[in-house]
């Protein structure tokens, strides 16, 4: 029964096919961690098999109580198998760890692209030096290039972690930390705050989009360009509702508003989620988020918005057009 229960639990762990895993790597940094993990796994498995074999041997071939035991050979066995071999294994693993730490600590070239990420309660602000614009909870990197990531915290301790690309790096208030990302293949990789930072710590996710260099350059160009202008009457009315209401006091839309308390919304229509992974980014959830964010993400700093119900669809249309 116990073995059956363990087997069922093991099977359940593989049900979430979209969960990021350090054993499904796509970057050189995470590959180092994966190799060390497998090394430790096989060593632990070998030790387990050896111990079980010795236990089985002791149970099956145990001596009678009257049998005399020689002390020389068992002591030599314990010295070699219990001290010598473990010492060699620990020294080897320690050497591998030092090698990997040196590799992970080596930063990119000075001319490498640089992205600045600031952790807030509970979202990620993304900027690029030399570009005035910003985005939130999504950063782009060119495939096959090592990108420098400068990390800061605006409040408490956070931890920047992209399991498939790189190990964790803590964000400490008042300090600027650095890490790097390098993706071997194009794709979208989920990251997460890995240090408990308050009520909505679990809803502090982000995406890393690895793409070819031309697409990355296009993303940089969009990041520094004014936001898309309204093209329909509904979008125009929604823009007026945004500027004339309370939204513009906290949020920026390039060319329209410059609030800095909350995320920049210049490309909010194309983002993968609302609330840093709290809910999907669609019209229904966006309306609920605007009307009362506390029902979606309790504890977030955004208060309910006193917007007239008749103007809410126009505001949703305008925000969804920002891509």
pLDDT at 314 over 90: yes
Find the mean pLDDT for residues 110-134: 93
Contact 136, 123 (CB under 8 A): yes
Of 80-89, 190-199, 229-238, the one with minimum mean pLDDT is 80-89
Task: Determine the pLDDT at residue 19.
Answer: 73
Residues composing the chain:
323
Bridge partner residues of 191 (DSSP): 206
Percentage of residues in the chain having pLDDT higher than 70: 90
> pLDDT (tens digit, 9 = 90+) per residue, 274-300?
999 999 999 999 999 999 999 999 999
Find the mean pLDDT for residues 177-206: 94
Task: Determine the pLDDT at residue 85.
Answer: 83
Contact 285, 214 (CB under 8 A): no
What distance, in Å, lies between the first and last C-alpha atoms of the chain? Answer: 54
Contact 124, 276 (CB under 8 A): yes
pLDDT band at 3; cut points 50, 70, 90: low
Instruction: Give backbone dihedrals phi and psi of 76, rounded to 5 degrees, phi first.
Output: -65, -40
Q: Which residues contact 257 (CB under 8 A, 6 or more apart)?
A: 242, 243, 247, 248, 251
Q: Which residues contact 167 (CB under 8 A, 6 or more apart)?
A: 29, 30, 33, 104, 161
Percentage of residues in the chain having pLDDT higher than 90: 59
d(CA 254, CA 199): 31
> What pTM value is reported for the model?
0.83
> pLDDT (tens digit, 9 = 90+) per residue, 59-91?
887 766 655 555 556 677 777 777 888 888 889
Closest CA to 153 of 175, 131, 132: 175
């Amino acid at each position: 029964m116990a073995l059956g229960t363990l087997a069922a639990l093991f099977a359940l762990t593989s049900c979430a096919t979209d969960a990021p895993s350090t054993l499904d790597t796509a970057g050189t940094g995470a590959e180092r961690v994966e190799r060390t993990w497998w090394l430790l796994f096989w060593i632990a498995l070998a030790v387990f098999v050896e111990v079980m074999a010795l236990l089985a041997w002791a149970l099956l071939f145990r001596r009678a109580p009257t049998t005399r035991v020689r002390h020389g050979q068992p002591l030599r066995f314990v010295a070699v198998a219990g001290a010598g071999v473990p010492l060699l294994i620990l020294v080897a693993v320690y050497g591998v760890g030092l090698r990997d730490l040196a590799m992970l600590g080596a930063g990119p070239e000075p001319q490498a692209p640089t992205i600045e990420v600031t952790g807030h309660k509970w979202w990620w602000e993304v900027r690029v030096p030399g570009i005035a614009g910003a985005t939130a909870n999504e950063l782009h990197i060119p495939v096959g290039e090592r990108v420098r990531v400068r990390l800061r915290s605006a409040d408490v301790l956070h931890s920047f972690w992209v399991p498939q690309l790189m190990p964790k790096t803590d964000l400490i208030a008042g300090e600027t930390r650095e890490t790097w990302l390098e993706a071997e293949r194009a794709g979208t990789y989920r990251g997460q705050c890995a240090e408990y930072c308050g009520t909505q710590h679990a809803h502090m996710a982000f995406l890393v989009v690895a793409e070819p260099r031309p697409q990355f350059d296009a993303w940089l160009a969009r990041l520094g360009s004014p936001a898309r202008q309204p093209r329909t009457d509904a979008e125009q009315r929604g823009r007026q509702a945004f500027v004339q209401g309370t939204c513009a006091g906290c949020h920026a839309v390039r060319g329209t508003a410059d609030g800095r308390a909350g995320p920049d919304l210049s490309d909010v229509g194309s983002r993968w989620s609302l609330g840093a992974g709290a809910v999907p980014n669609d019209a229904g959830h966006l309306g609920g988020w605007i009307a009362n964010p506390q029902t979606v993400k309790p504890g977030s700093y955004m208060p309910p918005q006193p917007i007239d119900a008749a103007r809410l669809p126009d505001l949703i249309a305008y925000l969804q057009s920002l891509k």
